[in-house]
Structures are given as C-alpha cells and as structure tokens.
Amino acid sequence: MKAKVIYLQSGFWKQLQSDTSIAGLQCLMNVYEAISEANLRTDIEDDVWDSDPFLKILWKKYILSRSDVELYESLSIDKPENNSEDLSAVYLMNDSTTKCEDLGRQYGVVAINNIDMPRKEKLFKGDGFLLKKNSIYYEDRYLHFKSIINYPCNSMILIDPYLLSNKNNIKNNLYYLLDAILPHRKLQVEFQFAIFSMLGPKNTEYSNIKNYYKDIEDIIKATRKGLNFALSLFAIGSAEEFHSRMIITNNVFFSADDGFEVFKDDGHASKNATFDIVLPRLVGDNRQDMSNYLRWIKIAKNRSCKQTETQFWGVRENRLYELV
C-alpha cells in the first residue's frame, strides 16, 4: 500500500505548462515539487516526457529509482477505488471545478483543477492560526477558523491526551472542532474516526468509556445527520507515547502544540495556542511533514492492535492504518 499517491491527468499538466505568468510558473513549481516526491500515477504521453524540461528531470529520477512513476494509457477519474490508497490520494484533474468539488464531497478526497490552482496556493504551503489568551471572544470556537481547517476527508485520527480529561471539553471544544472538520454530506464510503485521549484526570474515568463514546457519537449524529461513520475511542494514560496533540486525516496533518482543549465556557481562549495544518502529499517532506504524518499513524495503529478491551470502545478499523 502506497501512502503518497497523486493522480495527475495529462490535460492538467498541459494547462499548467501553458500559463507563463509569474503566478502560473509558481503553480507549476509547486506541482512539480509535489509530484517529484509522490507515488505518481499519470497518463502523460511519451512525447511530452521526452520534450518537457521538468518531466525529463523527473524521468531521470525514476530511472535512478529516486522517484515512483506509474504510467497509464488514459486516466479517467470518475471515482476513487474503494481502498485506502485511492481514498487517501490527491487528484489533479483536467475537469470542471464542479466535478472536482463533487468528487471531494462524495469521497472525502482533495481534487483540484487548473482553475482552482491560483486560489488554492496554500495547499502547497500550509496554513495555520493563533489564539491569544482571554483577548478575543470566539462565539463559535473552532468554527471561527473553519475556512482554514476544513478539507475533504473520509477518515480521521484525533490524538490529544488532555482533550477528554475534563468532560466540559466535549461541549466547549470537541463539539465545535468536529463541526468544523467533519464532512458536510453523507459520503459514498464509511467515515472512519479514532480518538486517543485520557478519560477524566489521569484517565481515572476509563471505566465510563461507553458514556464518553455515546456523547461523541451523539455529537456526530446531531451535526452530520445521515453520515455513515465508524467510531473508535481509546482511553490512554498520561505517561505514554501519545505526548503530542494532532488530527490526522486522509489529506491533512493538523498539529496543535498547545492542545485542542483551549476554549472556556465564555468562548475565550484559556491559553495562547498555535495551530498548523498541512497537506503532506502536496507540501512534501522538507520539514518532515510526511514522515511525521506516517509515524503518528503507525503509533496509533500499533496501539489500536494492543489496546485492552476495558479501555476501548467501538471498532478498531481505520483505513489510515493501512497506509503504514
């Protein structure tokens, strides 16, 4: 199973090459850097590989086993295959914006065309936001930053040892976080979601895991009516390998150095907090984003396999685990 798949239709690349403006050249460089680190699947013709200066370099890397390229005679992208590889891939399409958006809504994947490229520059650079303690009233908490953190997704892992250590965080933080991130419509595939957190201070309430599970399940049902989902809840201790706080989806690595339990009852931030979000298949691994993304999926997968029944509720499956 390959974790860094990018599908690239030949028409997308040709349109990209035809834009010689400064913005167009920047888009070209962004895409080239992404596909040069990817498991690339494309229907670009032989003569284009022979004549294109960027693709010549990429093909040379492929010959030297320094890149991964799989060629197709034609590449039709009507829907992803129902497997973890395709449901975690990025799709660079020579198609209408409507079709790209429909693919994203139905399957929780990132699909973009050349028209989208200039306004989606941040996909190749990352994004983020800051909270200042007690300074601003955030009535909608994480929904205030929905435009930054909402990307198509079909699977998710949430790791935060302290998010559920205080049950008030469910209504003050988790509710708004999920409302900002979850798919808006029913997907054509099951949405798979795993949470790793202490339940109560120092995990003292792990025996009530079924009640915590029910509260989270009710949030998803209330905010996303009709969404077909499978939820897993893992109660963890305070001195374990889950020392970082993050959300991992099939597209996004969303890190929260200061945790997700940041909003108080009155809507103010309880601490200064920094949040960063990247799409590692497009950003690449210069800052180790992709490496960290896969490392934390592996940590979650290993814990899922060995978690005791008394501190687990739900299902153990998550398609992200199949990427590592």
The rounded mean pLDDT for the chain is 94
Who's near 3: CB < 8 A, 6+ residues apart?
39, 85, 88, 290, 294, 323, 324
pLDDT score, position 87 = 98
Burial 282-321 (b: 16+ CB within 10 A, else e): bbbeeeebbebbbebbebbbebbeebeeebbbbeeebbbb
The pLDDT of residue 15? 93
| pLDDT(243) > 90 | no
Q: For the chain, report the end-to-end CA distance as a whole number of angstroms.
A: 8
Rounded percentage of the chain residues whose pLDDT exceeds 90: 88
Residue 240 has pLDDT above 90, yes or no: no
User: What residue segments make up the domains of the chain, in order of their start?
Assistant: 5-124, 127-323
261: confidence class by pLDDT, cuts 50, 70, 90: very high
- Among the residue ranges 187-191, 212-216, 236-240, 292-296, the one predicted with the least confidence is 236-240
Q: How confident is the model at residue 275, as a pLDDT?
A: 97
Residues 20-72: tens digit of each pLDDT: 988 889 999 999 999 999 999 999 999 999 999 999 999 999 999 999 999 99
Angle at 128 between CA 5 and CA 324, to 5 degrees: 30
Give the pLDDT of residue 119. Answer: 76
CATH superfamily for 127-323 is MITD, C-terminal phospholipase D-like domain (3.30.870.30)
Mean pLDDT of 103-131: 91
* Dihedral, CA of residue 100, residue 101, residue 102 and residue 106, to nearest 10: 110
Q: What is the pLDDT of residue 1?
A: 80
